[in-house]
């Protein structure tokens, strides 16, 4: 069936999205009302002239931020990263105010690290300063690179942050590095995604440019959409929920997102993450 040139089978109805990160971590998003997703080929048809108002642009940017953060979270959760790193440039070596120069320097270094260590898993996001300079935050895999204990240049004392040793990656020869071993993949994923900001997407120098960089071959989560009565979620608490009042004046969970774990043998779901945020629509 066609409507305005759009086939009805180009869309799929769902009220549940399940994301399996491949390591026992499962995220379930349950929706009170069914939604439509485009499954046709090619670009999703808009069916109307593009809205160029400031409000429409802001909404598109918000959706972009959400989509990119989900992709980054997927990579962060689905791969065994060991290090959280911040890589900055010495202005005497690299002009970090030139984004293309800084980006190309970073990617050439990543290729050299891959050639040197045979495997170099990374997920890296740029951060732009108000001054126009750029540096990079990222997650690195368990590589046999040399991480030296960082020390105060004046006192020689070890640099300790949150009761943990900070390291320098000596193979980053373009400036300064700040590295910490990852204790919680969940916190690392949350921390890295916060650098994907509206400012990053709207900055003119980032127009038509990638907002993150990742090595080839990283594992990706498996996402399944479907229809369910969602009663199997009644015993769990949404880690994030949006409450709405229905036509009968009852409060309902319009959107509920659950962070669950799957038993590797039985597949049974359980919930150990009891943090939650419930908000009104």
pLDDT of residue 2: 46
Q: Which band of pLDDT confidence, cut at 50, 70 and 90, is reported for residue 213?
A: very high
Backbone angles phi and psi of 195, in degrees to 5: -80, -10
Would the pLDDT of 181 be above 80? Answer: yes
Query: What domains are defined for the chain?
Result: 2-40+229-280 (no CATH), 78-214 (3.30.70)
- CA distances (Å), origin 105, targets 118, 225, 257: 19, 40, 39
- pLDDT (average), residues 36-43: 81
The per-residue pLDDT for 236 is 96
């Amino acid at each position: 069936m066609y409507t305005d040139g759009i086939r009805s089978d180009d869309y799929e109805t769902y009220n549940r999205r399940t994301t399996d990160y491949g390591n026992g971590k499962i995220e379930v998003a349950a929706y009170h009302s069914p939604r439509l997703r485009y499954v046709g080929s090619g670009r999703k048809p808009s069916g109307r002239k593009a809205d160029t108002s400031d409000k429409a642009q802001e909404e598109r940017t918000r959706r972009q931020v959400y989509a990119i953060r989900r992709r980054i979270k997927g990579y962060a959760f689905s791969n065994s990263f060991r290090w959280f790193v911040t890589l900055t440039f010495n202005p005497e070596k690299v002009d970090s105010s030139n984004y293309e120069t800084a980006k190309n320097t970073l990617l050439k270094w990543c290729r050299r690290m891959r050639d040197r260590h045979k495997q170099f898993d990374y997920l890296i996001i740029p951060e732009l300063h108000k001054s126009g300079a750029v540096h990079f935050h990222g997650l690195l895999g368990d590589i046999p690179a040399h991480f030296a204990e960082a020390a105060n240049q004046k006192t020689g004392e070890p640099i300790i942050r949150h009761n943990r040793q900070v390291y320098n990656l000596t193979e980053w020869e373009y400036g300064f590095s700040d590295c910490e071993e990852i204790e919680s993949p969940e916190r690392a994923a949350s921390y890295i995604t916060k650098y994907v900001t509206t400012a990053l997407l709207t900055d003119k120098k980032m127009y038509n440019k990638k907002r993150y960089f990742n090595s080839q071959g990283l594992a990706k989560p498996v996402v399944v959409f479907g229809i369910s009565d969602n009663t199997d979620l009644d015993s769990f608490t949404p880690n994030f929920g949006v409450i709405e009042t229905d036509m009968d004046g009852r409060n309902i969970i319009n959107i509920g997102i659950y962070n669950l774990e799957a038993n590797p043998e039985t597949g049974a779901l359980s919930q150990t993450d009891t943090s939650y945020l419930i908000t009104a629509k």
